[in-house]
């Protein structure tokens, strides 16, 4: 279970909190879609959850392990795929995956098996021998997803994972996310593609101006807004426009 309690963050140049007293629960087996307009606080929240950004106040924990007091154990349980993945450009894709496997202490057989399976699933097999500097945006995205999944993390966090993926790879990733959640793992991802969120996520969170406006299933959102036939896109726009 991922738990965020009273999470707040304000950047020095800003007048209001980028994230303001955010409470969040994501249970095992759930695919949590994190939605919000630009500048709503999605990326800031994600960065605080993965430990890239220090929260001004509040706590983040995964299965009872606190990010601040047990950062290493916590980080062992997460896999993170950022919206703009960073790589050592001169490394080959395979060398990068080898490095990540070394960091997580994966044994020979496991790393080989996972790299083979994941690269085949995400259609990035032959290119792994090439330097990352020659990769397209989509290939980088795929490599980032493989690296995030390599150690079978308890919590998989994906920030805009579909951007740049070709239709086949995008489909494969969605299937992979579903099968991953079916294993009882947590998948937390942010997206602007509301159709994907509606079809893929078992739970949604909508953030606006740093505050969590809604957290629950799609049908709960429909019930809350009193319009059960409406799409997520319509409900999202109504919810965020009503407030602003």
Partner 1 sequence: MRETLLLLKAYWVGIKPYAMFLQRFGFRSRRRQNKVLSVVLAALLVITFGYFMVMLFSNYWAYQTLGMMIDRPYLGLFFAAVVSSVATLVYTLTSVSNVLYQAPDIKMLQALPIEERTLALSRLAILYATAAPIYWFFTLPAMVVAALIGGFSFQLFFGALFFLVLGPILPLSILTLIGVAIMRSRIFERSPGLSKTIAMVLFILFFVGLSSMMTRYLDQSGAMAYDYQAMIASLVPLIEVLERWLKPLLVQANALLSFSSLFWFILLSLGVGAVAMQVVVATYHSTVALAKIGGHRRANGRRATLERGRSPLVALMRRELVVLSSQNAFVFEIVGELFIPLILLVVWIITGTIGDMAALFSSILSLDMATQIIFVILLLMGNFSLLSSTSVSRQGKYFALDRLYPVEAARYVQAKLLLHLLLVGVTNIIYVSTALILIGAGAKALAWAIPLSVLSVAVIAPLQLAIDYRNPNEEWTLAQQAMKSNLNGLFGLVIALGWTVICALFLILLPLLGVVRAPLIAPLFIIGAVVARWGYRFAINQARLALSR
Residues near partner 1, by CB under 8 A: 50-52, 54, 71-76, 80, 86, 88-95, 97-99, 101-108, 111-112, 115, 125-131, 133-134
- Minimum CB separation of residue 111 from partner 1 in Å reads 6
Secondary structure of 207-222 as H, E, C letters: EECCEEEEEECHHHHH
- Minimum CB separation of residue 129 from partner 1 in Å reads 4
Count of alpha carbons within 13 angstroms of residue 133, beta-carbon side: 4
Q: Which is nearer to partner 1, 71 or 184 (CB)?
A: 71
Q: Which is nearer to partner 1, 88 or 171 (CB)?
A: 88
**Residue matched to tokens 């101006």:** 209
- Minimum CB separation of residue 203 from partner 1 in Å reads 25
Q: What six digits make up the tokens of 194?
A: 């509301």
CB 192 within 8 A of CB 42: no
DSSP state for residue 125 in the 8-state scheme: S
With vertex at residue 238, the alpha carbon angle to CA 235 and CA 243, rounded to the nearest 5 degrees, is 130
**d(C-alpha 229, C-alpha 223), whole Å:** 10
- Minimum CB separation of residue 112 from partner 1 in Å reads 6
Q: Which is nearer to partner 1, 5 or 104 (CB)?
A: 104
**d(C-alpha 224, C-alpha 220), whole Å:** 6
**d(C-alpha 108, C-alpha 115), whole Å:** 11
- Minimum CB separation of residue 195 from partner 1 in Å reads 29
Count of alpha carbons within 13 angstroms of residue 217, beta-carbon side: 7
Q: Which is nearer to partner 1, 67 or 176 (CB)?
A: 67
Other Cβ atoms less than 10 A from the Cβ of 212: the count is 22
Q: Which is nearer to partner 1, 126 or 228 (CB)?
A: 126
Q: Which is nearer to partner 1, 58 or 98 (CB)?
A: 98
Strand, coil or helix: 229? coil
- Minimum CB separation of residue 158 from partner 1 in Å reads 14
Spatial CA neighbour of 150 closest among 95, 112, 190, 203: 112
Q: Which is nearer to partner 1, 91 or 239 (CB)?
A: 91
- Minimum CB separation of residue 190 from partner 1 in Å reads 17
């Amino acid at each position: 279970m991922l738990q965020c309690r009273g999470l707040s963050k304000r950047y020095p140049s800003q007048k209001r909190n980028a994230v303001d007293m955010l409470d969040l629960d994501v249970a095992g087996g759930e695919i949590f879609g994190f939605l919000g307009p630009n500048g709503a606080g999605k990326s800031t929240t994600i960065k605080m959850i993965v430990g890239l950004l220090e929260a001004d106040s509040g706590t983040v924990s995964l299965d009872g392990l606190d990010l601040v007091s047990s950062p290493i154990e916590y980080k062992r349980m997460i896999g993170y795929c950022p919206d703009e993945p960073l790589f050592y450009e001169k490394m080959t894709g395979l060398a990068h995956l080898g490095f990540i496997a070394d960091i997580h202490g994966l044994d020979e057989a496991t790393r080989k098996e996972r790299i083979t399976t994941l690269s085949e699933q995400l259609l990035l097999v032959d290119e792994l021998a090439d330097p990352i500097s020659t990769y397209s945006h989509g290939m980088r995205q795929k490599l980032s997803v493989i690296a995030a999944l390599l150690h079978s993390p308890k919590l998989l966090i994906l920030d805009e994972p579909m951007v740049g993926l070709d239709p086949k790879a995008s489909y494969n990733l969605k299937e992979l996310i579903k099968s991953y959640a079916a294993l009882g793992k947590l998948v937390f991802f942010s997206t602007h593609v509301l159709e994907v969120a509606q079809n893929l996520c078992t739970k949604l969170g909508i953030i606006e101006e740093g505050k969590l406006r809604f957290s629950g299933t799609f049908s709960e959102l429909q019930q809350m807004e009193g319009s059960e036939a409406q799409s997520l896109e319509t409900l999202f726009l109504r919810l965020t426009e009503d407030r602003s």
